[in-house]
A and B are shown apart, each in its own frame.
Chain A
Amino acid sequence: MQVQRPKLTFWERTYIPQILKGMWITIRHLPMKKFTRMYPEEKPKLLGDYRGAPTLVKDPEGRVKCVSCQLCEFVCPPKAIRITPGFRADQAFDSNVEKEPKEFEIDMLRCIYCGYCEEVCPEEAIFLKNDFAITGYKREELRFNKQKLLELGGVQPDSIWKWKYKGAPPPGTPIGPVRDGKPVEKKAAGH
């Protein structure tokens, strides 16, 4: 298929019809709805599963979901994540979880928002939220630590009740450490 090269008529070579046509198109655009968004005042509506800032989440019982398996640290293409693994402060029997991160640091200056950390996380502990304009005055401000990440992440209900029960927990389940329906004593801390 060959493209048609325009052959101008005499009338078109005078450039007068082009001026009129151009004016007509521009004028037709004048009464159209304004497309520009007044950005800082008018926030855009985010579509789809927007990949914003990565955050850590807690489960509805307030436990840190991350078990510091360091898979996100491994997969992160720009190496923005640093995890210092540690054990849970109290060896709770309400779950099979022994570990949680001692420190979890995401360098927001390095993060490229690719979403790989969310994709690989086997505990659904890291989520990309909708925050997209992250700013700061100092580099340290943009190195988000565990506390800050948990603050941003908030609570995310489990899609499955992985830690103790199969399916949803029975109604009226006590929150504290429980085994066979009875509260159990805490084991001495430390390993």
Chain B
Amino acid sequence: MATRYEMEMIDSAARAHQAFEEELHGEKLIVNMGPSHPSTHGVFRMVLELDGEEITNCWPEIGFLHRGDEKIAENMTYTQFIPYTDRLDYLAPLANNVAYAYAVEKLCGIDVPVRCKYIRVICAELARISSHLLGIGAMSMDIGAMTVFLYTFKQRELIYDLCETICGARLTTSYTRIGGLANDMPESFIPMCRKFIADLPATIDETDKLLTRNKIFIERNKDIAVLSREDAINYGATGPILRGSGVEHDLRKANPYGGYENFQFDIPTGTVGDCMDRYLVRMEEMRQSIRIIQQALDSMPGGEWNAPEAKIVLPEKQAVLTKMEELIHHFINVTQGINAPVGEVYFGAENPKGELGFYIVSKGGGTPHRLKIRAPSFVNLQLVPLLCKGHMMSDTVAILGSLDFVMGECDR
């Protein structure tokens, strides 16, 4: 039986025209913001309906950066998809790698050694710091405080140096593998990382001094885009946006994965749910991330960093070069991929932007039948029309800055 669906897909230009025809009562003005506006952090377009300076309606437009990552995943092995996860939230590639690896490991039902978990924790927290430094820097720059951006970017550069040390690439890290890591953490990484987390609080304090008690910054952010607790939950917001609205929900605590249960840290929450709260939550999260990294470095266990799964993890190179069985395993693991069991699995990880989830449907074999990416930015951007209404045109930059989205992940 054939079923016919009729879908109406209006592009934003047509929608702007429609709004012009229908709702333009002499005074209202339609403004296209983006897709290449400096405050939209990528290619994001908003059609704003203005009554004077006040926004009366807003239609966000996404999809300018669509690459079809989910479809690409269906055509390659699980391991081959790891470089594509770098390009989801490209401000925190390491955290994406970690989330994806845990998702596939959950599908296969394997556990990774403690050392691997700890290294992944350090990677994910470094990514969180990097993402929040950019989020705060870019937000304050959009509002008008240029200096903070320069200071936070200096620290981000040092995080990129750490990424380069640990995996050989600054942005496209591709560090994790299914059941382990691409390589062990090098020895030189630990002193570098210790020095970095010792120096970072100074920059956070400087940012704090420049912004938190700054009257102009407060007035640009206070009581702007207030998101109530109920709305935050109903819209499925996650990450600092949800916590800024006062919901104490963090997957690292609510559903501990990857050794997070071994670390002491607090979940910062806001009270009002405005842009200021979201900024304060991000500031505090960076401090908590430093705490986690400190603990992970102090209690870093030795030993293996790959799971003892010969059918999943690639054998050691030296063994591949000298032994026949390992060579055969190597070829089979690369060409056929891991032999994943039939089933469906969802894994959500607490990424800097919120809950990054991978929903994998497997029909067995080395490639996923379907791989759905629950991108936090995509869900959080739903809030834009809700938050923008009733505010001034110039508040949109503060709102977008406080939502801290990434279009690479939203459009995927």
Contacts and interface: CB of A to CB of B under 8 A. Distances in A.
B84 interface: yes
Interface residues of A, number: 41
Given A8-B213, A18-B214, A122 B320 contact: yes
Nearest to A4: B280
A124 interface: yes
Interface residues of B, number: 58
B25 to A, nearest CB: 39
Contact of B314 (A3, A51, A120, A162): A120
Interface in B176-234: 182-183, 186, 188-189, 206, 209-210, 212-216, 218
B182 A119 contact: yes
B78 to A, nearest CB: 12
Interface in B315-336: 317-318, 320-322, 327, 330-331, 334-335
A3 B83 contact: no
A3 B270 contact: yes
B271 A5 contact: yes
A128 B169 CA distance: 11
Contacts of B161: 47
B83 A112 contact: yes
A25 B206 contact: yes
Contacts, number: 124
A175 interface: no
9 closest A-B pairs by beta carbon, nearest first, are A3-B280, A1-B266, A51-B168, A48-B165, A114-B83, A47-B165, A47-B164, A49-B168, A77-B80
B269 A1 contact: yes
B318 A74 contact: no
Nearest to A166: B322
A22 B215 CA distance: 12
Interface in B141-157: 147, 151, 154, 157
Contact of B209 (A13, A21, A35, A162): A21
Contacts of A50: 164, 168-169
B284 interface: yes
Contact of A48 (B166, B210, B218): B166
B348 interface: no
Nearest to B320: A122
B96 to A, nearest CB: 14
B357 to A, nearest CB: 22
